[in-house]
Amino acid sequence: MVAQSRKWVVLVASTWIQAFTGTNFDFSAYSSDLKSVLGISQLQLNYLSVASDLGKALGWCSGVSLLYFPLWVVMFMAAFMGLFGYGLQWLVIMRVVSLPYVLVFLLCLLAGCSICWFNTVCYVLCIKNFPANRPLALALSISFNGVSAALYTLIANAINSGDDNDTLYLLLNALIPLLASVAALLPIHRQPPSQQPLPADAVRHDSVIFLYLNIVAIFTGLYLLLLNSLSSNSSIARVLLAGAIFLLILPVGTPGITYARNWARQTIHLVFEGSRFNLVNMDDLELYKELVGSENSSGARILNGNTHSSRDREGCCANLVGKDQLMVLGEEHPAKSLVRRRDFWLYYVAYFCSGTIGLVYSNNIGQISQSLGYSSRTSSIVTLYSASSFFGRLLSAAPDFLRDKVCFARTGWFAVAIMPTPIAFLLLALSGGEAALTAATAMIGLSSGFVFAAAVSITSELFGPNSAGVNHNIIITNIPLGSVLYGLVAALVYDANIESSNGAVLRGDSMVCMGRKCYFDTFVLWGFMSLLGLASSFLLFLRTRHAYDHLERTRRRMQFS
């Protein structure tokens, strides 16, 4: 029972790490000041945001380090990377030291690596301590990364509510992850030994606790989203920050719930069992073995029959949808075979043209707000994106929560989640008003947040859970690639409008483009690219829905046998 209690404290510790280490979300808050101090162009500023994203391309380093160092050592290595990377940038922006652009670029790269290393620590904690509830643990932990910008805004306003607190974000980025690592050290150091398989009733009881934790998480997100606009006053910001910290600490009481197991079984769990609302079933742990083993041949026969019928119906599109179609979920794909599959490239393009665009958009929020004349609203818009991303990440658990209510492939949910992105860019292209900027930012944050959190589970299901670590690192190479390409286009369009416009103004040592035209062409291009991502995700859904249907049929047969 003590081990079961400790694992929940470990999960809460992972949410703390995620909540305070999403330091890339507040880049827009200080990017304009950094641009002015360094005297660089928009294109050069874009390369600094790309440097942060390049840390994801080096994510394998954190996995290798875990082969030689304890988990807590890797966590503090990440914390000191951030301390050094962000700390020196703060000294530069405060004009305490002067560094050449190349060194600032390397500092951004080092700071970006720290984020990736923190994420690896959290993934390992969830996978190790919740083998039976892995998707729910990952979704909950990853979701808290989306509230980082809102928390940092509260902290910055609590320290200094003036208009000149943008540079404070860099100092907070350097110090707060280190403090969060210190707070999480004891739970991580005392985490339980490797979890043994749980009985079915224990897994169902855990599902009730996950439901409780998700309710607390939703309330935390709403608290930060709705009340953050009141934090412009330092006194109010301090009160709101105290409330946010209380909400983050509240789940530490979760171990008490584990001791109330009999009560939960007799009340809450019976209600769920009566309505057939089961979040997790222990039979699912054997499902992949059956699918890749004895069910392989029967699954192939069923899906081949469906493929032939779909070819008759779809005509010229049959080859694209039916050829080399995925037979079953959970089959392991080594890296060499992964890149030869059409499903991989459809998935790669869908991610590249959806979640990655949302990330690049978040890096440009500062300049977008400034060009539209809403510089004073930058912090609140960054907070809105962060909070929307948080709720999108929480929604990625919808397929698991609604599994017995709605039978729908996870790749189908993925396609639905991408739909708001092209609508948002259409709205931005048609209007430069504050309402349009706010609505579009919320939609893009919600969509990209879902994509980021759902991607780990989709990679595991389509290409095998044992290979997910390597395969997912291959998938997310699209992020630095997209950051370079999308950001480059945005920067070139921005700088071109400065040269050809009378609306440019001088801010510090750099020119600033003012007006809707600064990003109009960029919004149009990003909108078309997101439509390509939507089409790619829909094709991926068509190619994988039969495998998901087969998974659901097998699960139900095992459940009622």
- SS3 letters across 51-76: HHHHHHHHCHHHHHHCCCCCHHHHHH
- Model pLDDT, residue 291: 44
Highest mean pLDDT among 298-312, 325-339, 487-501: 487-501
Helix (H, G, I), strand (E, B) or coil at 503: coil
pLDDT band at 419 (very low <50, low <70, confident <90, very high): very high
d(CA 201, CA 558): 16
pLDDT band at 417 (very low <50, low <70, confident <90, very high): very high
What is the residue extent of each domain of the chain? 1-259, 324-560
The pTM assigned to this predicted structure is 0.74
Task: Report pLDDT digits (tens) over 487-506.
Answer: 888 888 887 887 665 555 65
Query: In the 3-class helix/strand/coil scheme, how is 433-493 assigned residue by residue?
Result: CHHHHHHHHHHHHHHHHHHHHHHHHHHHHHHCCCCHHHHHHHHCCHHHHHHHHHHHHHHHH
pLDDT band at 59 (very low <50, low <70, confident <90, very high): low
* Per-position b or e across 411-424, b if 16+ CB within 10 A of its CB: bbbbbbbbbbbbbb
Q: In this model, does residue 290 exceed pLDDT 80?
A: no
Degrees to nearest 5, angle at CA 151 with 236 and 413: 130
Q: In this model, does residue 114 exceed pLDDT 60?
A: yes
pLDDT band at 284 (very low <50, low <70, confident <90, very high): very low
- Model pLDDT, residue 516: 83
Task: Return the percentage of the chain with pLDDT > 90, whole number.
Answer: 20
Q: In this model, does residue 277 exceed pLDDT 60?
A: no
d(CA 33, CA 36): 5
d(CA 420, CA 96): 44
Domains 1-259 and 324-560 share a fold: yes
d(CA 97, CA 274): 66
Q: Which amino acid is at 363?
A: N
Name the fold adopted by 324-560. Growth Hormone; Chain: A; (1.20.1250)
pLDDT band at 258 (very low <50, low <70, confident <90, very high): low
- The H or E element spanning position 507 is strand 505-507
pLDDT band at 280 (very low <50, low <70, confident <90, very high): very low
Range with the poorest average pLDDT among 251-260, 314-323, 388-397, 523-532? 314-323
Residues with Cβ within 8 Å of 41's Cβ and at least 6 positions away in sequence, in order, are 491, 495, 510
Average pLDDT, the chain: 78
Task: Report pLDDT digits (tens) over 73-111.
Answer: 999 999 999 999 999 999 999 889 989 999 999 999 898
Q: In this model, does residue 560 exceed pLDDT 90?
A: no
Range with the poorest average pLDDT among 138-147, 162-171, 188-197, 289-298? 289-298
Pairwise pLDDT comparison (272 vs 489), residue with the higher score = 489
Pairwise pLDDT comparison (301 vs 529), residue with the higher score = 529
- Model pLDDT, residue 349: 94
CB-count burial class (<10 Å; 0-12, 13-18, 19+) for 465:
middle
d(CA 94, CA 101): 15
d(CA 203, CA 259): 15
Q: Are 552 and 423 in contact (CB under 8 A)?
A: no
Pairwise pLDDT comparison (544 vs 504), residue with the higher score = 544
pLDDT band at 115 (very low <50, low <70, confident <90, very high): confident
- Model pLDDT, residue 254: 66
Indicate the class that CATH gives domain 1-259: mainly alpha
- Model pLDDT, residue 322: 61
Q: In this model, does residue 328 exceed pLDDT 80?
A: no
Mean per-residue pLDDT, 399-426: 84
- Model pLDDT, residue 339: 80
Helix (H, G, I), strand (E, B) or coil at 510: strand
Task: Report pLDDT digits (tens) over 26-50.
Answer: 777 788 788 888 888 777 887 887 7
Task: Report pLDDT digits (tens) over 335-391.
Answer: 777 788 888 899 999 999 998 999 889 888 888 888 888 877 777 888 788 788 888
CB-count burial class (<10 Å; 0-12, 13-18, 19+) for 169:
buried
